[in-house]
Amino acid sequence: MPLPADTFTTYDAVGNREDLSDVIYDISPTDTIFMSSIAQVSASATLHEWQTDALAAASDANAVLEGDDATTDASDPTVRLGNQCQISDKVPRVTGTQRVVNSAGRGDEFDYQVLKRGKELKRDMESALLSNNAKVAGSAAVARVLGGIDSWIATNDNFGTGGASPTGDGSNARTDGTQRAFAETDLKTVIAGCWDQGGEPDLIMAGSFNKQAMSAFSGNATRTVDASDKRLTTAIDVYVSDFGELSVRPSRFMRTRDCLVLDTDMWAMAILRNFQQEPLAKTGDSDRVQLISEYTLVARNEKASGGVFDLTTA
């Protein structure tokens, strides 16, 4: 039936107060699995360097004559490696007026924006460490870029048709191949390769799709049901291999076509300048601050880790 004549409704009203919740809902993920799993060390130059070494291959023919003169064994030098320290920043800017008006869900808009940009910077750093970027020395006109993890893993990498390993020193990105389904046999091959080289891998990282693909491996064919609380367990969170247990973690900030098998003791993040806030000079009626960090990835010995690459993602 039609509305009675001259009935005053909310559509006619001018003075009704707004109903704006004093809570801001943000579910953007901020978990940085890789950075939280590896050590942090100090850097003292824009090029952070380290050395690796290896023993000679074991020989079952090491037998010498009784009384014979000793023969000197050849000595190989250590390998000197390095990665560039990358500068990442976020710069929020808020006007003086906005800082004093009554805002829902936060007090000072500037503080709120600083908090947001800090979380974004942390996500950017995790993404850079897990990238397929090659290191770039930089110049006055070109920013320095750290070599991401994909540009280091070269010894124990399993990839699709047309793919190619990087050099293994961060100087070039790996070549992507044809994507294929995640197979447990490929994962086993990589884990065994890491162990054969002397590594002790303890962490598997994959994106959401391939984390679920891994949970469908035959080793998890028997699903666990807890009748008391009506739970059905279908996930693999610990992979027990022939060479030890590996924690399995989903990562939101790695390449979704990768599955990384990591010996976390053999990776670190070197910090030249730790996360800091630098107030910037006022040039008008606004406030700015630069959130900045300078850091790089340390591949202490890439042979201890590996990866299954070129996986399907849908």
Token readout for 304 is: 């201890």
- Give the residue extent of every domain in the chain: 33-49+79-308
Contact 218, 184 (CB under 8 A): yes
β-bridge pairing 47-52 and 79-84: antiparallel
Contact 48, 82 (CB under 8 A): yes
- How many Å is the Cα radius of gyration of the chain? 27
Residue recorded with tokens 């391939």: 210
Q: Is 176 exposed, middle or buried (0-12, 13-18, 19+ CB in 10 A)?
A: middle
Query: What pLDDT is attached to residue 8?
Result: 80
DSSP state of 302: G
Torsion (CA) 205, 208, 210, 213 in degrees, nearest 10: 120
- Please write the tens of the pLDDT for every residue from 155-199: 999 999 999 999 999 999 999 999 999 999 999 999 999 999 999
Residue 46 CB neighbour total at 10 angstroms: 16
β-bridge pairing 203-206 and 244-250: parallel
Mean pLDDT by 10 residues, the chain (314 residues): 83 84 82 95 97 94 94 94 98 95 91 94 97 98 98 98 98 98 97 98 98 86 59 83 96 98 98 94 95 97 98 96
How far are the Cα atoms of 108, 146, 182, 237, 251 from residue 217, in angstroms, in the given order? 50, 35, 9, 12, 19
How far are the Cα atoms of 18, 24, 37, 69, 200 from residue 99, in angstroms, in the given order? 21, 17, 38, 84, 52
Query: What pLDDT is attached to residue 221?
Result: 58
Give every CB contact of residue 128 below 8 A, 6+ residues apart in sequence. 86, 88, 146, 148
Query: What pLDDT is attached to residue 185?
Result: 97
